[in-house]
Amino acid sequence: MEGVEKVVIIGSGPAGLTAGIYCARAGLEPVLYMGSKFGGQLMVTSEVENFPGYKDPVLGPDLMEQMRAQAERVGARLIQDDVTEVDFRSYPFVVKTTSEERRALSVIVASGANPRRLGFPSEMRLMGKGVSNCAVCDGFFFRGKKLAVVGGGDTAMEEATYLSKLASRVTVIHRRESLRASHSLQKEALSDPKIDFLFDTVVTEVLGERKVEGIRVKNVKTGEEKTLSLDGLFVAIGYDPNTQLFKGQLDLDNNGYLLVKNETETNVKGVFAAGDVRDFRYRQAVTAAADGCKAALDVERFLKEPRQLSLLQA
Q: Which residues are catalytic?
A: 134, 137-138
Among 180, 194, 216, 218, binds ligand NAP (CB under 6 A): 180
Choose between 12 and 161: whose C-beta lies nearer to ligand NAP. 161
152 binds ligand NAP (CB under 6 A): yes
Backbone angles phi, psi at 165, to 5 degrees: -75, -20
Among 91, 141, 162, 280, binds ligand NAP (CB under 6 A): 280
Radius of gyration of the CA atoms of the chain, in A: 21
For the bound state, the minimum distance from the C-beta of residue 177 to ligand NAP, rounded and expressed in Å, comes to 10
Residue 105-134 contact track with ligand NAP, rule CB under 6 A, x = bound: -----------x-x----------------
Among 151, 208, 214, 292, binds ligand NAP (CB under 6 A): 151
| Residue environment code for 134-170, b if the CB has 16+ CB neighbours within 10 A, otherwise e | bbebbbebbeebbbbbbbbbbbbbbbbbbbbebbebb
Q: Which H or E run contains 12?
A: none
Among 50, 227, 255, 310, binds ligand NAP (CB under 6 A): 255
CA of residue 111 relative to chain centroid, distance: 8
Calculate helix-pair angle for 306-313, 285-303, nearest 10 degrees.
80
Rounded Cα distance between 260 and 256, Å, is 12
Choose between 152 and 275: whose C-beta lies nearer to ligand NAP. 152
Site for ligand NAP in 157-176 (CB under 6 A): 158, 175-176
Binding span for ligand NAP by CB under 6 A among 79-87, 130-138, 148-156, 205-213: 148-156
Choose between 119 and 144: whose C-beta lies nearer to ligand NAP. 119
DSSP 264: T
Contacts of 9 (CB under 8 A, 6+ apart): 16, 19, 20, 23, 30, 31, 32, 33, 76, 107, 108, 110
Choose between 58 and 172: whose C-beta lies nearer to ligand NAP. 172
Choose between 47 and 188: whose C-beta lies nearer to ligand NAP. 188
Rounded Cα distance between 231 and 170, Å, is 10
N residues, the chain: 314
Site for ligand NAP in 193-222 (CB under 6 A): 202
Chain residues binding ligand NAP by CB under 6 A are: 116, 118, 150-156, 158, 175-176, 180, 202, 237-239, 255, 280
